[in-house]
Structure 1
Amino acid sequence: MKWIKPWKMILVATMTLSVLSACSSQTKDSAGSSSQTSSKEENKTSDATPEPLGKYADTVTVTEVLGYNPPEDPRTPKGITPEQNAYLKDLKDMLNIEVKYKWTVPSSQFEQKFSLAMASADLPDIMELDPKNFEKLKKQGMLADLTKAYNDYASPELKKYMESDGGFAMKTYSDDGKQLAMPAFEDPFLSTQLLWLRKDWLDNLKLQPPKTMDELDKVAEAFTKNDPNQNGKNDTYGVALQKNLFFWGYDLRGFFNGFGAYPSDGNNQTAWIKDSGGKLIPGLIQPEVKTALGKLQSWYKDGILDKEFALKDDTKTVEDIVAGKVGIVYGEWWYPNFPLNNSVDKDPKADWIAIQIPGLDGPGKSLVPKIRSGKAFAVNKSMKHPEAAIKMLNYYIEVGKKKYQGKTEAKDGFVYNWFNPRIYNPASIDTIYTEVNKALDAKQTEITLDDENFKDVEKVFQARNDYFSGNTQTGSKGVNWGLYFSRAAKDGGWGTTRKIKEAGAYVNNEFYGLPTETQVEKGAQLDKLMQESFTKIIMGASLDEFDKFVQSWKSLGGDQVTQEVNDWYSKQAEK
């Protein structure tokens, strides 16, 4: 039996009682409700001794907005909506915090919708912010100071996560001694771009995994024209792509990296690399980008890219991957967890593998940030209970993620990526990989790890065993394969990523500060210019349009951004 910290034992007992007992407290919508006398001893939260997971006497209502993708796990009940997420029900039962959404939209629509919300000052209590929006709201004085709430209410585990990088990310989101957001930062190598492709299609066509861009060109053409699925129909294309060229997934970061081009970090941010003189230059406007666009243009003309890519969002691209219409996609370590697991379930022959991205003369080098912190969670300054945000983070780590030592299940309606705010252990993926392989190498039949990662490691270990034994009682073939191949297989997502890290086959994005003044002011305009210019070129416009784009980008604010980024870089060198 695992040892449980005393305060957690008390928490579990209290939460179990609260679920079983009828609550006589009257629910109120106001976040500023005062304590009631009924159920006083059970529900009281003392200001003198703040508890990381203390239950409010009166309901604290928290407003949020959400951009979401379909549930990753196919065992999730059909038709469930974000409002029905079981995490929210448990949050209400255990902490008496009720989440109400002002609106929810698919992830591809979130940025536009949130921009409108900021423009109309119609903001929720708790907000997930990218660096640009954080800077905007900080300057407008719209963000609450979370310093006291964090110091008083953060659980030991949350503090451990936040201090795992020496407190660097926390300092990045502070201003004048005030903690204005809680950054969600992770291992930077989680951003490493891999090439995922159908090995069964390679085998059908007697082809080898490509190591160079020329070899990839031949494979992509064969996947388009040579009936790789052997069904006698012309119903496949080579490389997956959605309308957002640089996004969180199913985009072209890895493709450009293969040409030695580093235009973007995937978070709508230009990537910055060192030149020969030690200055930072924007990867977006370098000649290698033009060369890569030329190849994309030829791929589009030859049907290797879907002719309708400019109209497809990430959801539509995922549908093509799962339906077996496309056999190559660039992306990160987690793809087997979604959507490749669904591809495997739909087509038992589907055999996806991960390789280092092809380059011009051999395997290429992926862009890797120095700090991976693409989002942060902030609180509206008008929120009466800012500490509720900290408690919700504690809840996700201590309860939501573990659920009485780890029993949150998709079949019961728990959808982890529909819950905000959430922060992960920055070292969790590498711990899972190391511990599962340690157990396999020792020929263990069960996991005996005794720390906070136990349940995550056990879950992946069991999924691996179920996959190889064909046991589908607790998960489908795709689910079991996806958990194992993403996190623990030596030739899988994280296993391949680790090899790339160990080989030094990466290039750092040297800029890791918050957006500069001109990036905040002009960033959206410059991003739109890039998206429109690159899409036109891919679809057949003259390659000379790239040179025009460079001049426009520089004159519309790019040159000023470059100066500001280098001013920041000089200050880092002085520290």
Structure 2
Amino acid sequence: MKKPTVSKLASVGLASMLLLAGCSDSSKTSNNSGDGEKDNGKTEISWLNILHTASPPTDTIINELEKKTNTEIKFSWIPDASKEERINTALASDSLADIVTLTILENSSVRNSLKSGMFWNIEDYLDEFPNLKAIPEEMLKSASTEGKLYGVPFQKDLARNGVVLRKDWLDKLGLEVPKTTEELMEVAKAFTENDPDGNGKNDTTGFMDRSDLIYGVFKTVSSYYGTPNTWEVDSKGEFVPEFETDGYIKTMDYMKKLYDNGWINKDFAVTAKIDQQQNFAQGKGGIYVGALFDAKNLETMAAGIQDNMELALVNDMTSESNSERAIWSGGNGIGGLLAFPRSEVKDEQELKKLLKFVNDLIDTENYTLMTYGIEGTHYKLNDEGAYEIINQDLWQQEVQPFASSRPNETGYNLKDPNPIKAEADEKIAENAEYAVMNPAVPLESPTFTTQGSELQKIITDATYQYILGDISLADFKKAVKNWNDQGGKTIKEEYEEAYKATN
């Protein structure tokens, strides 16, 4: 395993230099035994990783991880905002590291590099490592490319979304927590028309949404109507896109009724997420649909503005046309891959050392370290056994940057001291049983890779136009035909062929 010429506290600038210059064998030091292991028995590991914070972490947590995993780790950080460009450059120039974090698996350069054999196929080695062996088979399948697993998948919660409501508004209006889409619409009406904040003004609305058909109201409500998650495979093995199903049409009708009656913010189609959340926190709306853990952020934003705000979380909603619980899964729980390039990892011996390192990172002790930090320094266990941050600034500087580096984020049952966050965690875990997968996630469609985003715009635009009353259902179906004619039909056929080849 090559040792890149960067320090533990690699700056963003040095990460850029690494991508341009590559990792040179000349950087190996005399105490390196030649197989990635130093004379002291520690394994040297270089990791090209994504940074989601403003600056890289200090060495505090890295030093602890090194002790616990018997390694010496050299991080090279790529800013999240430029990750696609930087990873593309690294792949094209073969300027990589022992471990490469790949998060945009649908990127054509990433997919082509995986298919080309640039990275190790690790599926035959997982059984040797208990934490890797425990990764669910469905998740491994979703993380595969053309039936082969070219890295350890980042394991995320299968389904995070649900409904967040103003419980104090429900109580004031004498309403129960809704359990169906019909009841939810009645609540939206009441929150809009019945002065739930009691200020005598007509200044509230039901739903507070944003311009996002995936992470906003639309896709989650669509789950409640039984709509497939992006694609479904019918009894003939044919691929059907979600917008060609009855559930999708019913969701559009639902949203259109909300819009026509003013029970959703009129500007939802052009509202940014931060504005949506701020409007909710300011008491302008009473229903928020999105990730359930957003409830904690909404409470924080409302401090000093809506101090009496009380929230209810709902994850078991159904509809009159679909009595079965269902919630769409984002990426089938896959947040990317930890991949091992053959140019850096020369043989099975080196690969197994890296796999052991990733396996060790999944241990509860190391997950806790990368999530909360060091007990007594960054956090304490309160009387309820919850992990309470005691130095927020230090935690943000030394611990928070590692949040996106954890190979697994599920199943640890570590209690959050914030009650609404703890409840959200529980309901997100419950969602897993009802998660609806996207069968196309592990499949290859060259047409989708090159034209998918452009074609999706046809459907997105037509969906908004229908909801806003600018086009009829017949016009929407014309847009779907246009999607098929311009390449959608080919995407279906390519997915069908890929599906048959891997199932």
Partner of 1:326: 285
Out of 216, 222, 225, the residue aligned to residue 256 of structure 1 is: 222
Out of 183, 186, 205, the residue aligned to residue 237 of structure 1 is: 205
Q: Does 1:285 align with 2:269?
A: no
Partner of 1:54: 42
Partner of 1:137: 111
Give the deviation of 1:383 after TM superposition: 6.9
Q: TM-score normalised to the size of structure 2?
A: 0.72
Q: 1:199 to 1:135 in 2, by over 3 A?
A: same
Give the deviation of 1:213 after TM superposition: 3.0
Give the deviation of 1:360 after TM superposition: 2.4
SS of the counterpart of 1:272? Answer: strand
Q: 1:89 to 1:515 in 2, by over 3 A?
A: farther
Partner of 2:385: none
Q: 1:565 to 1:225 in 2, by over 3 A?
A: same
Contact 2:292-2:428 within 8 A present in 1 as well: yes
RMSD of Structure 2 on Structure 1 (CA): 4.5
Contact 2:37-2:43 within 8 A present in 1 as well: no
Task: Report the Cα distance in structure 2 between the residues aligned to 1:98 and 1:560, rounded to whole angstroms.
Answer: 44
Task: Report the Cα distance in structure 1 between the residues aligned to 2:135 and 2:276, rounded to whole angstroms.
Answer: 35
Question: 5+ unaligned residues in a row in structure 2: which ranges?
Answer: 1-7, 9-16, 380-388
Contact 1:254-1:330 within 8 A present in 2 as well: yes
Out of 465, 481, 486, the residue aligned to residue 556 of structure 1 is: 486
Q: TM-score normalised to the size of structure 1?
A: 0.64
Q: 1:343 to 1:50 in 2, by over 3 A?
A: farther
Q: 1:293 to 1:352 in 2, by over 3 A?
A: same
Partner of 1:14: none
Within-5 A mapping of 1:274-423: 274=234, 279-340=238-299, 342-343=301-302, 347-355=306-314, 356-360=316-320, 365-368=325-328, 372-379=332-339, 381=341, 384=344, 393=358, 396-397=361-362, 401-403=367-369, 407=375, 409=379, 411=392, 412=394, 413=396, 414=398, 416=400, 419-423=403-407
1:346-377 CA-to-partner distances (Å, cap 9, x unmatched) read: 64422222232241268563245598243322
Contact 1:526-1:553 within 8 A present in 2 as well: yes
Task: Report the Cα distance in structure 1 between the residues aligned to 2:460 and 2:401, rounded to whole angstroms.
Answer: 27
One-letter amino acid matched to 2:151: A
Q: Does 1:218 align with 2:179?
A: no
Q: 1:394 to 1:228 in 2, by over 3 A?
A: same
Contact 2:238-2:492 within 8 A present in 1 as well: no
Task: Report the Cα distance in structure 1 between the residues aligned to 2:142 and 2:259, rounded to whole angstroms.
Answer: 41
Partner of 1:484: 422
Give the deviation of 1:220 after TM superposition: 0.6
Contact 1:130-1:374 within 8 A present in 2 as well: no
One-letter amino acid matched to 1:138: N
Q: Does 1:197 align with 2:170?
A: no
SS of the counterpart of 2:289? Answer: strand
Give the deviation of 1:246 after TM superposition: 0.9
Partner of 2:151: 181
Contact 2:50-2:404 within 8 A present in 1 as well: no
One-letter amino acid matched to 1:421: S
1:148-202 CA-to-partner distances (Å, cap 9, x unmatched) read: 8996xx998xx43332246564466566997523212356xx3164322111111
One-letter amino acid matched to 1:47: D
Task: Report the Cα distance in structure 2 between the residues aligned to 1:203 and 1:322, rounded to whole angstroms.
Answer: 18
Contact 1:211-1:363 within 8 A present in 2 as well: no
1:193-249 CA-to-partner distances (Å, cap 9, x unmatched) read: 4322111111111222223333222211221232222234444322132222113xx
Partner of 1:12: none
Q: Does 1:524 align with 2:496?
A: no
Q: 1:149 to 1:548 in 2, by over 3 A?
A: closer
> What's the % identity of the aligned pairs?
19
Contact 2:43-2:72 within 8 A present in 1 as well: yes
The aligned length equals 449
Contact 2:159-2:329 within 8 A present in 1 as well: yes
Out of 74, 82, 85, the residue aligned to residue 54 of structure 2 is: 82
Q: 1:563 to 1:177 in 2, by over 3 A?
A: closer
Task: Report the Cα distance in structure 2 between the residues aligned to 1:381 and 1:101, rounded to whole angstroms.
Answer: 17
Contact 1:137-1:143 within 8 A present in 2 as well: no
SS of the counterpart of 1:132? Answer: coil
Contact 2:177-2:312 within 8 A present in 1 as well: no
One-letter amino acid matched to 1:375: G
Q: 1:540 to 1:552 in 2, by over 3 A?
A: same
Partner of 1:5: none
Q: 1:294 to 1:45 in 2, by over 3 A?
A: farther
Task: Report the Cα distance in structure 1 between the residues aligned to 2:130 and 2:181, rounded to whole angstroms.
Answer: 43
Partner of 1:538: 467
Task: Report the Cα distance in structure 1 between the residues aligned to 2:500 and 2:463, rounded to whole angstroms.
Answer: 31
Question: 5+ unaligned residues in a row in structure 1: which ranges?
Answer: 1-18, 20-27, 69-80, 433-455, 464-479
